Chain A
Amino acid sequence: MSSLFAFTLLGLFTGAAYAIMASGLVLTYTTTRVFNIAHGAFGMFLAFVFWDFTQRQGLPTVLSLVLVVGVVAPAIGWFIQRFVTRGLGEGPVSVALVVTVGLLVGLIGLAQQIWPPEPRVLLPFWSGTGWQVGDTFVTAHQLVTLVCAIAVAFGLYLLLSRTRIGTAMRASVDNPELLKLFGGKPDRVAALSWAIGMSLAALGGILLTPVVLLDYYALTLLVINAYAAAMLGRLKSLPMTFAGAMILGVLESWAVGYLPTDGFLASFRPVIPALFLFAIVVLMPQAQLRIGQVKGIVTAPVPTMRLSLGSGTGLLVAALLLVNVVAPNQVLLIGVAATYAMVMLSLVLLTGYGGHVSLAQFTFAGVGALAYAKLDEPNLFGLLLSAVIAAAVGALVALPVLRLTGLYLALSTMAFAVLMDKVVFNAEFAFKFNGTLAADRLSILGMRIGSDTAYVWFMVLAFVLLALGLLVLRRGALGRLLIAMRDSPSACGTLGLDLRWFRVGLFALSAGVAGLAGGLFAGLRGTVGAADFLYFQSLLVLLLAVVFGATSVTGALLGGTALMLLPEFQAASPSMAGLLFAVIGFGAVLLGRDPNGIANHVFRIGRWLRSRIAPGLEGRLQGLLPRGGGSDGAVDVPLVDIAVDVEKVG
């Protein structure tokens, strides 16, 4: 009994720190409708700043704390609201998600660049001081954490219910437009809530650092804890968020106390927040469709069938030349690029066409690879079965959030990716901890594609076929449905479309494509392990897909190539490793508002060249080619229009 008391007490202290962090997340989300996935990353970054102030600059602890929480954090919060997230809340959820994922990756890169990896210790406050309470020892740091949490709760209560601006903040939760009409200033409210939110992220991060260590990733992942806690209050209620944080802290503490220290169950401790999250999400009530929510619409370019076939053939010829020319080790790299490009194709379907965001796409590739290696059926049947398994897992992830809106689905995928990364992939039945599985190259009709060059070319062929398949879907009924669903979910509902199952199906299809890529990747590598499918990789896949264009297969091709090159560049100049992450992350922040990405600019240059070099050729070509929209009824939007759209969006 007494040890139960001790573990519960310990849990409450950790929970108090989670509560501080989670309340910041809720505050920014409710007032500005932007869910800040980088909340934990900001906590991480500011904890590093605090370390820098106290350890490197040698400032007194209390002064550093005041500077970080009271000056640096609010300034960053104001800056982010003013220049990055302003207006994101009114746009599509997917854009806000991509932008904040960009911030997350960018902050990790920036932190690595400023504070290169080395052991760092951030001592607890008044370390060594503490008191005996019953059979447990309460440190001064734990007491400080609890006091801070109570102060934050009390302070937020006073702010929100006793001050003018606090009332305005509560009003902006319901209707910022109305607030403006009544003379309120939504921008000032938003800036203030971001400033406070950032301070709370900093405070939470600093208080938790002695528990989770000063680590780029561990602190960043605290956003899942905060999110899980906040979900108990449906991302709205602060008291429920505090309660959720405390429950989470206690559950984690009990896990430390009562779960075995080795074996499969031991690995569950780090994923308690993710499991807690799934449990709450399953119990959430059905979200209602909303009308009058028509979002900014970006048209995805669809090439004619002729052009698609031509480009695909061109790519295959180019790949054939390339694999026979480049050095043997670079042949494998082309295969890696093809893998990434295929995973990004799955995002073209899900994000570019469907408007949903997945933060676990490379994890699905991992599921496909695992299935392919485990099945040990290196033929088309085994490959397809791996894809089907990945699709089934994708459906399982989407099922709990069936009744909720897109934001929850995206956030759950991140929790899922962490769960797979930390527990399932490392389990005995999977790759095993630090282990790998062997996977054979694919055989087709009994012919084993053994050589690197042939196998890599086959992967490019798979990419081309998938891309063509995707374009056929896009031009057909499914493509129209996807656009319709993005333009007006309620109209689709009142016409008889079950959006919930449609979304699950879409998600499964997308996961299946990623799984197929994973299976091929396993064959390419020969051995695959959990280290190949870290959750962070999924974030990079998403960001590069969006930067290069999540609405076109060309974007997937470019993005896949770029993601393959990234570690090569990082290996070539290790001092710049973090900077490259920062460039990608902040690049996505800048480009995330336009999902057509760089690919669209490539199309524009192409059109410009054609009009300059061979004016009139376009017209003659158009005359020769049967345009869609007529006989096959495809959605054939003239490319010029898209350029105009993009300018409007940008």
Chain B
Amino acid sequence: MALLEVDDVVVRFGGVTAVNRATFTADRGVITGLIGPNGAGKTTCFNVITGLQRPTKGRVRYRDKDVTGWPVHRRARHGVGRTFQRLEAFGSLSVRDNVRVAQEIHGGPLAWFGGRRGASGVDLLLDRVGIAEYADERADSIPTGTARLLELARCLASDPQLLLLDEPSSGLDETETDAFGELLVELAAEGCSILMVEHDMDLVMSVCHDIHVLDFGEIIASGAPADIRTNPDVQRAYLGYAEGDGDTSVIPAIEEVVS
């Protein structure tokens, strides 16, 4: 059963329609990919799901509740977490304190005055995403890839049920990306549902259970990785033309086009 349902969402900025009647779902305990060319409306969809952007039309349902009118923080408290494409790390705090703040926000107001000290879980989280060595550095001084992992760790500190990752692997090298993919699979196995915007097709194809393809604000295809790979509409969106059905050689080409 779907954990998240985006139903017929439309977002217009003035005369521009960024998202046009997008309908898709993300299931419990699996990784769902949201892909599409630049400017297709992926991040806007994320903003609608997290509440940073009010949709012009349409509904967002999460755990069978209509959350369209909910403010950002309320969705977050019900387990919707996200990372950002344009980094939103707390630059003047240390990496460790970034995660600590997340934990404290999660703990609520009573934790702010005095409250719990020496949060050991923080270091475990940093270790888990593989950035423990940066713990004492200021968050605005670490490399982009590391900062993305920091955003993931920060998000995990608030114990999310639905994790929205916006281009998490950009800035990571190949080995790091592989490790990152394994981490995602692990998280999903632990019951955390993940919706991911990602341009690295190898990663998407290898970890995602379902994929939705967005082009010019519309969902043009949904399905398992194997179906998406061979879908002529998807090929057209990325390449401008479709090759013969069943020709999987197009996928490396997609990767080149978008990266």
Interface residues of A (CB under 8 A from B): 286, 288-289, 291-292, 294, 297, 299, 473, 476-478, 480-481, 483-484, 487-488, 490-499, 505, 629, 632-633, 635
Known: A289-B52, A496-B106. A480 touches B73 (CB 8 A): no
Q: Which of B64-87 contact A (CB under 8 A)?
A: 71-74, 76-77, 80-82, 84, 86
Residues of B close to A476: CB separation below 8 A? 112-114
Q: Determine if B102 is an interface residue (Cβ-Cβ < 8 Å).
A: yes
Residues of A close to B51: CB separation below 8 A? 493
8 shortest A-B CB distances, which residue pairs? A496-B76, A493-B72, A491-B88, A488-B88, A487-B90, A498-B73, A477-B112, A484-B90
For the complex formed, measure the closest distance between the CB of B150 and the CB atoms of chain A, giving whole angstroms.
11
For the complex formed, measure the closest distance between the CB of B244 and the CB atoms of chain A, giving whole angstroms.
41
Partner of B73 from A292, A496, A505, A632 at Cβ < 8 Å: A496
Residues of A close to B102: CB separation below 8 A? 495
What CA separation (Å) do A498 and B88 show in the bound complex? 17
Per-position 1/0 for B35-73, Cβ under 8 A of A: 000000000000100111110000000000000000111
Q: Determine if B8 is an interface residue (Cβ-Cβ < 8 Å).
A: no
**Stretch in B91-99, B186-194, B233-241, B251-259 touching the partner:** B91-99
Contact A491 B84 (CB under 8 A): yes
A-B contact pairs, 14 of them (CB 8 A): A288-B52, A291-B88, A477-B100, A477-B101, A493-B72, A495-B81, A495-B106, A495-B155, A496-B73, A496-B105, A498-B74, A629-B94, A633-B119, A635-B94
What CA separation (Å) do A288 and B73 show in the bound complex? 12
Contact B113 A289 (CB under 8 A): no
Contact A288 B54 (CB under 8 A): yes
In the complex, which range does the number of interface residues on chain B fall in?
A: 35 or more
A499's nearest neighbour on chain B, judged by CB, is: B73
Residues of A close to B98: CB separation below 8 A? 484
Contact B93 A480 (CB under 8 A): yes
Contact B72 A494 (CB under 8 A): yes
Residues of A close to B151: CB separation below 8 A? 491
B97's nearest neighbour on chain A, judged by CB, is: A480
Contact B101 A494 (CB under 8 A): no
What CA separation (Å) do A294 and B90 show in the bound complex? 9
Chain B CB within 10 A, most for which of A286, A289, A292, A505? A289
What CA separation (Å) do A493 and B81 show in the bound complex? 10
Known: A477-B113, A477-B115, A629-B136. A292 touches B86 (CB 8 A): yes
Known: A495-B154, A496-B105. A633 touches B112 (CB 8 A): no
Contact B92 A490 (CB under 8 A): no
Q: Determine if B158 is an interface residue (Cβ-Cβ < 8 Å).
A: yes
What CA separation (Å) do A161 and B80 show in the bound complex? 45
Q: Determine if B201 is an interface residue (Cβ-Cβ < 8 Å).
A: no
Contact B52 A495 (CB under 8 A): no
What CA separation (Å) do A492 and B105 show in the bound complex? 8
Known: A487-B91, A632-B117. A480 touches B100 (CB 8 A): yes
- 7 new A-B contacts, CB < 8 A, other than A480-B101, A499-B73, A635-B93, are A294-B88, A299-B92, A477-B101, A483-B90, A493-B71, A494-B76, A494-B82
Residues of A close to B117: CB separation below 8 A? 632-633
Contact B115 A488 (CB under 8 A): no
What CA separation (Å) do A299 and B118 show in the bound complex? 23
Known: A480-B100, A481-B104, A629-B136. A495 touches B113 (CB 8 A): no
Residues of B close to A286: CB separation below 8 A? 71
Residues of B close to A288: CB separation below 8 A? 52-54
Q: Determine if B89 is an interface residue (Cβ-Cβ < 8 Å).
A: yes
What CA separation (Å) do A632 and B114 show in the bound complex? 11
Partner of B97 from A289, A297, A635 at Cβ < 8 Å: A635
Residues of A close to B82: CB separation below 8 A? 494
Contact B89 A491 (CB under 8 A): yes
Contact A480 B104 (CB under 8 A): yes
Chain B CB within 10 A, most for which of A299, A491, A495, A635? A495
For the complex formed, measure the closest distance between the CB of B16 and the CB atoms of chain A, giving whole angstroms.
12
For the complex formed, measure the closest distance between the CB of A187 and the CB atoms of chain B, giving whole angstroms.
25
